[in-house]
Amino acid sequence: MTTPLQVTARLREPVTIEDHVRGPSNAPVTIIEYGDFQCRFCGAAYPNLHELLRQRADTVRLIYRYFPIANVHPYAERAAETAEAAASRGKFWEMHDWLYEHQDQLDPVHLSLGVEQLGLPTDELNAEVERGAYADRVRRDFVGGIRSGVNGTPTLFVNDVRHDGGYDLPDLLAAVDAAANA
């Protein structure tokens, strides 16, 4: 059972109510991003995804899943767990945006300042992260991603098919428009 050259990877973990969603729930195109908050390629894609959602506001929704590559990015796991802690207080996207807008400030001291800026209870949230309250969730996203063919960060799935193109705005617009017209 040798697999032929290049089989396109497909998402195996369907969207659930636990997912973090930005955009209309009935959008015809769903982008799932597997990302690492410390990855500079994810950081480079972040404003493009933002603009994509603005330009295709009725067409596309974005779902974010955690894929920290901790052996390369020492702050990525904690950043992910902190985002999930913020999510439990209804502030996932605020935290997500702060993290990508402050990628050079992800060390614990600056991260706490970010949490505070968002009006979240820093000590309480840090204590939850310290005892690993969100580790399982992050791990679940990671394992689902690796089983779906995530091969680095960022990896996007556009309507369940892995996007192997670029992350510049024109590439993303083309991918979304193609999926919307498929």
Chain residues that interact with another protein, rule: CB under 8 A:
1-3, 5-7, 9, 12, 36, 39-41, 68-73, 139, 142-143, 146-153, 155, 164
Closer residue to another protein, CB minimum distance, 45 or 115: 45
Closer residue to another protein, CB minimum distance, 117 or 151: 151
Closest approach of another protein to the CB of residue 174, in Å: 20
Distance CA 59, CA 53 (A): 8
Instruction: Say which amino acid occupies 171.
Output: D
Instruction: Say which amino acid occupies 175.
Output: A
Closest approach of another protein to the CB of residue 159, in Å: 18
Closest approach of another protein to the CB of residue 102, in Å: 18
Question: In the Cβ-directed half-sphere of 49, how many Cα atoms lie within 13 Å?
Answer: 28
Yes or no: say if 59 and 168 are a contact pair by the CB < 8 Å rule: no
CA dihedral 99, 105, 111, 115 (to 10 degrees): -50
Distance CA 77, CA 66 (A): 9
Closer residue to another protein, CB minimum distance, 60 or 150: 150
Closer residue to another protein, CB minimum distance, 27 or 150: 150
Closest approach of another protein to the CB of residue 56, in Å: 26
